[in-house]
Structures are given as C-alpha cells and as structure tokens.
Structure 1
C-alpha cells in the first residue's frame, strides 16, 4: 500500500472490537516477532492530561540526548502526529510500509479465525514496529481508553507508569465510580516499575491507585506534594512555577498543566533511578520546548483566540479555571460536544466566561447536533445560535467577537477549527 491507501485502510477498520485491545495487539505483535520486547517504555494513563504529560516527557528525554518515540492519540491536523520520533512525524512512506506489515499480520489472523482487530490496535502495532526499527532508547506511550485492556498494554518493559488526573469519562466501559476507573487505569502498572501520580485526585481513586501499586510490587510511588508548588504572577495565560526547586516555564496554560509538569519532573527523576541520565537542565528545557496543539492553545493574543480540545466535565473545569485566572470574560464561543460527555455540566461551567454562543456539530458519529446542543445551552445562555457548519460558525463568531473567541468542546472540533486558523 502507498500512504493514501494505507491511511484509507486503517481508518476503514472497525472502532469497536469483539475482543479487548490488549489481546488483539498481543496477537499482532506475536505475528510480527514481538518488536516491543526490544523497547523500554514510559506508559501514561488517565482521564485528562495524559497527552500533555506524554509530549512533555518525550521533550525532556530528547533534551537529555535520548532517541525518543512518542505515541499519542488522537491527532489534530495530520494522522502522522500520532507517530513521533524526537518530535518529528513519521515519513509517509515509512508509515505506509509498517501499516502494510500490520495488514498482512491481520490477514493471517483472520485466516486463522481471529476477526477482531480494530483501528487502534493496528495503529499501536505500527508505531511499535517503527520504534523498534529505529532502535529508540525509550518510548513515551499514551493509552487510548482505560489501561488494563487497552491496546498499548500489550507492552511489558515499562520503567515508569504515570497516572494522570482521573475523572468520570467513558463510564459505560470503565465503570461508574472513581475506584472502578482507577482500577482500569492502573492496569498499566507492571512489576517493579515506578509509579508517578497526578497530585489532585479524588480520594476514592487515590486509594485504589495505592492498592494497585502495592499489588504490582512497584519499586516506588510518587505523588507530587501541593506545598512544593509556587505559582509566579505573570501575563494572562503565562504559566511559570517553581516546583520542588525546579523553575519551570510551562508552554500550556492552566494550573492543571502545572500539576501535569510535576508528574513529568517526578517521572524524569524516577528514570534516573532506572539507570537513565536525565539532567535537571534537560527537565527544565524539555518542558519549556514541548508543543501540543489544542490544549488551551492561544492562537492569537490580539485579538484573543483560544482553541481547546476540552472534551468532558473535568476538561471544562480546567478551562474555566484558566479563564478565571486570566480574568477573561464576555467571550464569543463556538462549541461542539459529543454525546455522553456531560454537555449540560460543561456548558454551565463555561457560562460565566461567554457572552455569545454558537453551537456546531463536531465531525463524529457520536456528536450532539448543533440544534440539540443549542437547546441545552439556552438553559445557561441568553444568546445562542446553532450553525450548520464549523467554518460558517467561525466566520460569524469572528465578525461579532468583542473580547475574544473561544473554540472548545471536542478534539474533533478543535481539529477542524485549527485548519482554519493555522495554514
């Protein structure tokens, strides 16, 4: 397959499997000679923040001189964003070659009666093939959904596992309590790995994490202490902190990103106990240089344009906290949300910062329609307009905004909007 054929093939695979991802991916990797066994991993799971932690860690390790694979999901503009090596996307022909190998392995499994492979299984396997071929020193690996049964959990050689903020998302699959969700996330813990945990967790989740770390015989468990944070005053959306003696300039706004950065610091320190050399300067510079689109991304300061993939209630809370700290109000907003994400709560949380709202339908079969979302929004907003397309909504919003524009509610929406703003 060439690149376009390979991408069309992988996107055409089912999204929901008859068997769990870890089982599917394990079988694919077995067919392909277990390339993952030659790699070492930092594995990152959580409800919110896992992508930010993954890219910051990869940037830190690159700064320390290592050859670093970074596998994240979903992508915003280019499918190849999911496959990074020292911050650079995989070449099209290389990705096509590895997806072709995955397809051949999948067809062998199908001939043997195993017909359960989905898109995420294939994507994860292709990434591991590439990282093994490139002889990466270490791979920063973000889970897709959950952890225990996730495709990425087919790997074994985990040096450090990071558990980011746990919230109630995908409850139909992961459970309806913090304890159940934490149990699934902690499925990535491997014997004798180190564990680093986001410092602000529901107590029910934290209790379960402690139990799971003990049962996995983890070498150490670190939870950053809140008293070790000092937040510097600065310009709106600037995020400078001192954490435990590390002066950090975090490229992503919000207190939650400062907490994510502390997870990165502690994971880097834990790696030194595993034999890697990660100097303090690499930690500081790596965090400063990290880039990740659509995470409270300030596309313009004048006029103010904010793009955020906040896709659930906790994401909306983090965004609202950031807007409050920056003293931003009376925004014009374009919002689109998927079903099952707590749209009513998200809209209520963001309402103090929005004067005029345009609702849209994100490009997803799970999307709430613009009209349905507008009906929900009218409980919290006096000026709501449903719009049939995202480009039309952006055009209308930009022509009428006074104090700035906010686009948020889904990474699907963020992806479509960013193409309009960033050319």
Structure 2
C-alpha cells in the first residue's frame, strides 16, 4: 500500500501487510520508535506480565480489580480472536474503529518520518504496541496492564522503562526455537522483564523456574513474592465456576469464585489478587468488591462455554494441554467428550496429541486446520492421532465441517471441546457468530 490509509478498513489492511516487508527489531529500535511517538503513557502505572501460560487471564483479573476500585485502565494483549481491536482495551472494552484509526494515523505518520531518515519500519507487534500506548495516553488511563508477546527480555513491551510491578505466570516449554530448550533458559527470558527495585510476583510451582526468577530478582534488588501450590485451596469444581479459599488471606474461610471451569484459573486469580494488593495495598474492607470483580470476569477462549455443551479453550502448548486435561477430569462428566483439534507448526503438537490420547478418555477426535501460513495440515495431524488414539479419529480440513462432524456424533450429555490453538479458537468463535447471525 503506497498511499496513506484513509479509514479503519485500510488501516487494518496496512497493519496485516507489515510482516511482508519488515521483521522484529532490537529494543533500542523500539525505544527510538516510542521516543518518536512522544514517549506515550510513560508516566502511567504499568503492570508488566510475562509467562508461558495464564498471562492473559492474570491480566484480565488484575484489570477487573483495578476497574472495581474506580481506576481507569488500559490493557494491551495478544493475540486477538476475531478483531484486531481486541489487542487494545480501555476499561475492559476494545477500542472502537474510530479510536483505532486515530491512533493508527498518529503512529503511521511517525513511522513514515522514521523511514525517511533511514530507520526501519516497526514490526507488526511493535507497531500495535505503539498504537496501544498512544491510545492509553489519549484516553488518560491511570493503570496499564501490559502483556508480553513472546518471551520477555527481548519483547517489544520490555522497552517500557519503569513498570510499577512485574508479574511472571507459569512457565513451560513453548517457542523453544526462540526461547531455549530448557525450563531454565525459558525462565531466564521471562525474568528479563524484572527491573531494578520493581516488585515481582511469580508462579513458583516449577522449582527450576522459581530459582531463576528469584536469583534475577535478587540481582535487581527487586522485592519478590512467590505464589506456590499452598497459596489457595480449591473447595468446589462445577461446570459454571470453581470455588476456592486463599490460605494466606486475612480470613482463610472466605470463599472466592472464578467463573471458568479451568482448574488453572484459580492460580491465575490468586496471582492477580496478590498483584492488586501489591499495587493498592491490603484492603480487607474492599474484599467483597474484589471477589465480585473476579467472579464476574469473562475471558474469551479460556474454557468458555460458547454454546450448550460446546467449550472453546485456547490450550496450545504441552503445559496448557496438561492443565486442560486436569480440568476436564475434575469435572467428572457423564460421557467422554469429543475433541476438535488443530495446531500451528511451531508448537510441540505431537507431544500435545500424545498427552491427550494417553491421559483423557475421549469419544472421538475431529482434526481440522487453521487459516494461517503456519498451519499443520489436517491430514498430518490425523495420522499422528491415529498412532496414539484408541477412539475414532476424523479428519475435516474445514473448521465448519469439523464442528458439524462433532455435533453429528454427540448425544445430549456429550461435551465438545475445541483446543490446540488460539487461531482455532478465533475461527470457531467466528463460525458460531455467523450461525447466530443467520438464525
């Protein structure tokens, strides 16, 4: 696109074309880019969140509590499921198309001046990050919840100089070609967001990762709070919610709820509550308000019952698949579920498939493929499933056909789960929206 985009649609087309002509840059480049934008939102209170799994949910819980306290918040997240606007949220809502174009235009103009001076164009993620900070500046938010894109140390979001708090969620093997082949290497990349003197709250359930994070925090004189498996007690697991108590709370018999049936969401909520206490102080008199905010959270694509007996979950790496299996088994369903599965090529999809087949009793697997250049062909995934599965495996390359196939097999009590990729979650969500619109 040679001329300047003149509306929202053209702006989105321009952003989607960025990967064709540029690539990821150094943090020095990102800092220069942010300088050209006028250091947007640099004076705001930022919560910087990294981790392999759970970081989006932790961000959502933190933002919900801050909003309940009357704080105006911005939230930068990725990826999006349906609309690119989802990546930039103000007050728990994506910015509208007009706001999106306004901040796009601001960033576009700055980038063109950079290019005139021989400075390379920002990458897709970097460009959106600049838009996010510009939107937060324009909307005059007080707090920004900033989710890393990939890793931490070299992520564009780490160019933000002085967060109020850093948070590191669970760590497992993912993006190993980029971040490293061991938990220790990946933890070191995630711990790269830790700043001098800035408090750190982290998931301490993996001992190897915890040691790396603790040592990094010590090197940076950063106060460190570890959230272990004994920080909470699960009291009840149902299809609609999970009830838990906080064993380290002022009153441990107070019951909290997360409205998502993923077991791992309790840990995510506990991390977020600790983060909120670090930011706002311990406020026993506000506990009921915080519990209400956590209980009402909605986070798309995370054990989301999108239709009757139809669940979308974004589990897309081995650690997330293990957590998914634990959650489904805890629900003790009357009948084995049907699973719709797809994956992208840079994930450990054979490991994910083997774990599902060996650890979850399943009525059938329906294998499909996503609309992305990194997709794994449905036929290839189907062959892997057939090596491990003891139940029928169906191959349906088209997502709509895969959904229809799953519905044809189910009985009244059978649950259908869509897992393996956030891209799949987005495609399934879009397909369901089209059906609802046509009805």
Q: TM-score, normalised by structure 1?
A: 0.94
Which SS does the other structure have where 2:227 is aligned?
coil
Give unpaired runs (5+ residues) of structure 2.
1-5
Partner of 1:289: 296
The separation in 2 between residues aligned to 1:325 and 1:24, in whole angstroms, is 47
Q: CA deviation at 1:94?
A: 1.2
**Contact 1:28/1:102 (8 A) holds in 2:** no
Closer/same/farther in 2, CA of residues 36 and 298 from structure 1, 3 Å limit:
same
1:361 counterpart (351, 363, 369): 369
Partner of 1:391: 400
Q: CA deviation at 1:163?
A: 0.2
The separation in 2 between residues aligned to 1:384 and 1:38, in whole angstroms, is 54
1:412 corresponds to 2:427: no
Spell out the pairing of 1:222-233 with structure 2 (5 A cutoff): 222-233=225-236
Q: CA deviation at 1:29?
A: 1.0
The separation in 2 between residues aligned to 1:26 and 1:299, in whole angstroms, is 40
Q: Which moved more, 1:114-123 or 1:409-418?
A: 114-123
Which SS does the other structure have where 2:363 is aligned?
strand
CA displacement, residues 245-277 of structure 1 (integer Å, 9 cap, x when unaligned)? 35211122222111111101110111135x999
CA displacement, residues 170-222 of structure 1 (integer Å, 9 cap, x when unaligned)? 11111111111111111111122111111422x2211110111111211x211
Give unpaired runs (5+ residues) of structure 1.
none
The separation in 2 between residues aligned to 1:134 and 1:391, in whole angstroms, is 39
1:31 counterpart (27, 31, 36): 36
2:275 counterpart (255, 267, 271): 267
Partner of 2:168: 163
CA displacement, residues 136-178 of structure 1 (integer Å, 9 cap, x when unaligned)? 1100010000111111111123111110000111111111111
Which SS does the other structure have where 1:232 is aligned?
strand
CA displacement, residues 301-343 of structure 1 (integer Å, 9 cap, x when unaligned)? xx41111111111111111000010013522221101113221
Superposed CA RMSD in Å reads 2.0
1:337 corresponds to 2:348: no
Partner of 1:279: 286
Closer/same/farther in 2, CA of residues 283 and 24 from structure 1, 3 Å limit:
farther
The separation in 1 between residues aligned to 2:356 and 2:26, in whole angstroms, is 35
**Count of equivalent residues:** 418
Which SS does the other structure have where 1:48 is aligned?
coil
2:258 counterpart (236, 241, 250): 250
The separation in 2 between residues aligned to 1:9 and 1:276, in whole angstroms, is 46
Partner of 1:307: 312
Closer/same/farther in 2, CA of residues 342 and 267 from structure 1, 3 Å limit:
same
The separation in 1 between residues aligned to 2:421 and 2:294, in whole angstroms, is 25
Q: Which moved more, 1:250-259 or 1:127-136?
A: 250-259
1:197 corresponds to 2:202: yes
Closer/same/farther in 2, CA of residues 372 and 38 from structure 1, 3 Å limit:
same
**Contact 1:332/1:357 (8 A) holds in 2:** yes
Partner of 2:221: 217
Partner of 1:181: 186
Which SS does the other structure have where 2:406 is aligned?
helix
Q: CA deviation at 1:229?
A: 1.6
Q: Which moved more, 1:137-146 or 1:413-422?
A: 413-422
Partner of 1:53: 58
The separation in 2 between residues aligned to 1:27 and 1:269, in whole angstroms, is 34
